[in-house]
Structure 1
């Protein structure tokens, strides 16, 4: 089965995220069945409205629409790409992976990477996904004058995304979008 994205009704972020989650899971399960590597992709039950509201208050920035819809579809996703997993609302505030992702963000800040890519030093980096090797993080950002809401950084790469669904789509086809490495 090949992934074909339908346009859907205008403003249909919920349908878009469901289609992208489905496509990612099909691809990852197919990869796993063809060459098992131990890490099985996994999705979870949807986050409740209370969990989404609590997470929005905790992160102190508005949840981007497709990210909110992602959590309302599957509250987290393990191994959506190799060893990269998206956090659930329940991972906050003190799961080991979230703590490690926050430490990674602090390191990025300390070595001046934020300024190198055009973000202010005080930009809030809210981790939404992290890899098992602690070398790649995806952060939700909300910086005035910057249209992108997510930043993927690590292993020498820096890519900004406008919405969460673009991140998942990027791993389906990295050449399908035009993304900036700095803002």
Structure 2
């Protein structure tokens, strides 16, 4: 995970330095989360954390500039504007029936792990192995992409040719 975060941050910093006035967030990582914080987050999530997301939190407790204007939420930054925006996006998607539109059960737990600045895209951790083996759902602006795990979504953000996400539940 350290290598993946390092590669992603190197790319984002290079992009930012090439055009620092672009609207995307300044790339930033944070001190790692403690095991206690990660355990509390798992309780909050209502599901086991994807092991790669757990590994991510042991490297950095969140990331700004992960993909365009996306941030990755850690344990500590869930109560601010981004955390609130992610929950609003989740609630709106539920009200619109979006999970059912792509074949997910209506009661699937959607735990936000990322949201963009204008709250038009979010990434959720899901856990419904009877329906779908993937654990990550990237949703918004007309897109719906499922990733096997959190590391796959980070790799995709770094290089979209690295992974071909599923768009609906088959």
Secondary structure of the corresponding residue to residue 57 of structure 1: helix
CA distance in 2, matches of 1:111, 1:160: 19
Deviation digits for residues 90-122 of structure 1 (CA, Å, limit 9, x no counterpart): 123x32221221111111111111111111111
The one of 20, 42, 53 aligned to 1:36: 20
The TM-score, its normalising length taken from structure 1, stands at 0.87
Secondary structure of the corresponding residue to residue 161 of structure 2: coil
The one of 134, 141, 157 aligned to 1:148: 134
Q: CA deviation at 1:153?
A: 0.3
The 10-residue stretch of structure 1 (161-170 or 96-105) with the greater mean CA deviation from structure 2:
96-105
1:173 match: 159
CA distance in 2, matches of 1:69, 1:157: 27
Answering whether residue 130 of structure 2 is matched by residue 122 of structure 1, we say: no
After superposing on structure 2, the runs of 4+ consecutive aligned residues of structure 1 that deviate more than 6 Å are none
Answering whether residue 74 of structure 2 is matched by residue 100 of structure 1, we say: no
CA distance in 2, matches of 1:48, 1:122: 30
Answering whether residue 74 of structure 2 is matched by residue 79 of structure 1, we say: no
Aligned residue pairs, count: 166
CA distance in 2, matches of 1:100, 1:40: 19
Deviation digits for residues 52-108 of structure 1 (CA, Å, limit 9, x no counterpart): 11101111100110000001100000011110000110123x322212211111111
Q: CA deviation at 1:173?
A: 1.5
Gaps of 5+ in 2: none
CA distance in 1, matches of 2:19, 2:144: 29
Q: Which structure: larger Rg? A: 1
Q: CA deviation at 1:40?
A: 1.4
CA distance in 2, matches of 1:113, 1:76: 26
CA distance in 2, matches of 1:163, 1:175: 16
The TM-score, its normalising length taken from structure 2, stands at 0.94
